[in-house]
Amino acid sequence: MSPTTDRDRGLLRRRSAGLAVAAALAVSGLVASPQAAVAAPDPGSPVKVNQVAYVPGVAKVATLVSSSTAPVAWTLRNAAGTVVASGRSTVKGADALSGDSTHLIDFSTFDTPGSGYVLSAENAGSYPFDISADPVKKLRYDSLAFFYHQRSGIAIDARYVGSTYARAAGHLGVAPNQGDTSVPCRQSCGYSLDVRGGWYDAGDQGKYVVNGGIATWQLQNAYERTLHVAGADKAALGDGTMAIPERTNGAPDILDEARWELEFLLRMQVPAGRTDAGMVHHKMHDENWTALPTIPAQDSQRRVLSPVSTAATLNLAAVAAQASRLWKTIDPTFSAKALAAAQSAYTAAQANPNRIASANDGTGGGAYSDSSVTDEFYWAAAELYATTGSDTYRADVTGSSLYKGRSFAQRGYDWGWTGGLGDTTLALVPNGLPSSDVAATRAAIVTFADAALARATSQAYPAPNNAGSVYYWGSNGQIANNANALALAYDFTGQSKYRTGVYAALDYFQGRNPLNQSYIAGYGEKAVQNVHHRFWAHQADASLPIAPPGSFSGGPNSELQDPIAAAQLAGCAPQKCFVDHIEAYSVNEVAINWNSALAWLATWAAEHTGAAPAVDTTPPTVPGTPLVSVSGMNFTSAGLSWTASTDPESGIAGYDVVRVAGDSFEVVATTTATNATVSRLQPATSYTYVIVARNGAGLSSTSAPVTFRTGEDVPPVDTPPTTPGTPVASAVTTTGATLTWTASTDDTGVAGYDVLRVSGGTSTVVAMSTTPTVTLTGLTPGTDHVLAVRARDTAGQLSSVTPTVAFRTLPTGTTPPGTCAVTYSANSWGSGFTASITLTNTGSTPWTSWNLGFTFAGDQKVTQGWSASYSQTGSAVTVTNAAWNGSVPAGGSTSIGFNGSYSGTNSVPTGFTVNGAPCS
Q: What angle do CA 580, 586, 588 make, to 5 degrees?
A: 30
Full DSSP string of 481-510: HHHHHHHHHHHHH--HHHHHHHHHHHHHHB
Distance between CA atoms of residues 868 and 880, nearest Å: 6
DSSP 658-722: EEEETTEEEEEEEESSSEEEE-SPPTT-EEEEEEEEEETTS-EEEPPPEEEE--SSPPPP--PPP
Q: Establish whether the linkage from the previous residue to 176 is cis, with ω within 30° of 0.
A: yes
What are residue 834's DSSP bridge partners?
827, 899
- Closest by CA to 462, choosing from 419, 496, 520, 513, is 513
Q: How many CB atoms lie within 10 A of CB 332?
A: 12
Question: Measured between alpha carbons, how far apart are the two ends of the chain, in Å?
Answer: 46
Query: Does the annotation mark 580 as catalytic?
Result: yes
d(CA 329, CA 442): 28
Three-state DSSP class for residue 218:
helix
Strand partners, 917: 914
Instruction: Please provide residue 814's backbone torsions phi and psi, each rounded to the nearest 5 degrees.
Output: -80, 135
Secondary structure letter of residue 246 according to DSSP: T
**Short-list 600, 607, 489, CA closest to 218:** 600
d(CA 126, CA 105): 12
Angle of the 209-228 helix axis to the 310-327 helix axis, nearest 10: 30
Q: Which residue type does 300 have?
A: S
C-alpha neighbours within 13 Å on the C-beta side of residue 491: 25
Q: How far is CA 191 from the centre of its chain?
A: 28
Q: Which of 580, 583, 616, 754 is catalytic?
A: 580
Asked about 263 being catalytic, the answer comes back as no
Under a CB-based contact definition with an 8 Å cutoff, are residues 114 and 130 in contact? yes
Distances (CA, A) of 647 to 229, 435, 451, 624, 703: 16, 19, 32, 14, 15
Q: How far is CA 676 from CA 194, 390, 629, 828, in A?
A: 47, 20, 10, 41
Q: HSE of 367 in the Cβ direction (CA atoms, 13 Å)? A: 20
Cα→Cα distances 225→229, 328, 457, 491, 749, Å: 6, 16, 27, 10, 42
CB 579 within 8 A of CB 565: yes
DSSP letter at 24 equals I
Residues 356, 863: Cα–Cα separation, whole Å: 43
DSSP assignment of 314-329 equals HHHHHHHHHHHHHHTT
For 97, half-sphere exposure in the C-beta direction (CA atoms, 13 angstrom radius) is: 25
Q: Measure the CA–CA gap between 477 and 415, rounded to whole angstroms.
A: 10
DSSP state of 819: S
The catalytic site residues sit at 580, 589
